[in-house]
Structure 1
């Protein structure tokens, strides 16, 4: 496989074939993210992508899922993305699901009909970084879209039959904006009604703008109890049809996995017990990105 630089994927794609079709992120301006800072965004050449598909045909026959890397595969124009998906379908017929990251820009560039076609060609799930439902936070982190756009693009993916997995970041509103960030994020999640929500806790990365803001005293990072309070407020404000809300990433202080609305009250009780000191939180040295 021709994998260049650091390659990341969602936890749920741990056993997937990783096919790198783009380098970097088409946005790459978020103040908290340092993942693709060393990569200039571009789409890889078809011959390289097709060579990697042939490699997967020989050596990845036990993996039934495939993930399109890097940061935003959906940005690829249809004239190139369709042949890639057709090649995956023809050469890797055992692959049951293709997934990839998507942002509002790339979703907006595709028509409803084009997204439906991509679904038919194998893209069954898209991972979207909401981060926050609070417009003030979204502007501060230079996300490139407001909450209304996030909602509209999330619904657009779901309309095409593509499952929607949304990531949010606890702590991104800082100490003063913590509860507003939580409640507004819950409001937006309710409006989007994703199939999956993954809540991560903010970990500041040296070299990013947000880290510099923290060092300069311009941003206050909430502590463990504040993060947990924020998580409770977010879940309380989130009403999903039948979505899975999980906060069991290694960055989190308390592992949570809840099917909403079924498990909402039980989960809020769990968080309350942790805040009362009756359940131990993950120590700092065991947290990781």
Structure 2
């Protein structure tokens, strides 16, 4: 495989074939993220991509899922993305699901018919980073979209038949906006009604603008207990018709995995027990991005 630089993928894609189609992120301005700072966004040449598909044909026959890297493959022009997906379908017929990251800009460049076409060609799940439902926080972290756009684009993905996984970040609003961030994120998640929610807990990365703001005293981190309180409020404010709320990422102090709406009350009770000191939290030394 012709991998270049750092690559990331969702935890649920741990056993997937990783096909690098883009380099970096087309937005690459979020203040909390330093993943692609050293990469200039680019779409790799088709011959390199197809060569990697041939590699997967020879050596990845036990993997029935494929994830398209890097940051936001949905932004690849439709004609090229369709060509790549057809090649995957033709050369890797055992692949049952293709996943990719999708930001609001990339989704917005697709018509409803084009999104449906991607679904029909094998794209079964898209991962969208909401981070927060609070418009002030979204502005502060330079996300590039407000909550209304997040809701609109998320609902369009779902309407196409593609399953949607939305990521949010506990603590991203800092101490000042913690409560608003939690309740507003629950509001936006409820409006989108994704299939999956993945809640991460903020870990500052040196070299990012948010880390610099913290060093200058302009951003105040919340404590582990406040993160639990924020998680509890966010979870209580989230109403999904048929989805999973995961907060079992390595960054979280209290791993939870709940099917909504069925397991809402018992999960709120679990969070309450943790807040009351009846459940042990993940030690700081065991947390990771």
One fold, TM greater than 0.5?
yes
Matches within 5 A, 1:64-75: 64-75=64-75
CA apart distance, 1:248: 0.3
Cα deviation digits, residues 35-59 of structure 1 (max 9, x gap): 0001000000000000000000000
Cα deviation digits, residues 176-204 of structure 1 (max 9, x gap): 21010000000000000000000000000
Distance in 1, matches of 2:47 and 2:135, equals 41
1:161: which partner in 2? 161
After the TM superposition, which parts of structure 1 deviate over 2 Å for at least 4 consecutive aligned residues? none
Distance in 2, matches of 1:119 and 1:243, equals 19
1:148: which partner in 2? 148
Distance in 1, matches of 2:164 and 2:288, equals 25
Matches within 5 A, 1:152-231: 152-231=152-231
Gaps of 5+ in 2: none
Distance in 1, matches of 2:243 and 2:28, equals 28
Distance in 1, matches of 2:274 and 2:119, equals 41
Matches within 5 A, 1:41-190: 41-190=41-190
Matches within 5 A, 1:238-249: 238-249=238-249
2:236: which partner in 1? 236
CA apart distance, 1:100: 0.2
1:36: which partner in 2? 36
Distance in 2, matches of 1:268 and 1:214, equals 31
Give the TM-score of the pair, scaled to structure 1: 1.00
Cα deviation digits, residues 181-237 of structure 1 (max 9, x gap): 000000000000000000000000000000000000000011100000000000100
Distance in 2, matches of 1:181 and 1:99, equals 28
Distance in 1, matches of 2:145 and 2:85, equals 28
CA apart distance, 1:96: 0.2
1:287: which partner in 2? 287
Q: How many residues align?
A: 289
Matches within 5 A, 1:258-277: 258-277=258-277
2:11: which partner in 1? 11
Q: Does 1:256 align with 2:253?
A: no
Cα deviation digits, residues 244-270 of structure 1 (max 9, x gap): 000000000000000011111101100
Distance in 2, matches of 1:110 and 1:275, equals 44
Distance in 1, matches of 2:285 and 2:114, equals 46
Give the TM-score of the pair, scaled to structure 2: 1.00
Gaps of 5+ in 1: none
Q: Could you say what the CA RMSD is over the residues aligned between the two structures, in angstroms?
A: 0.4
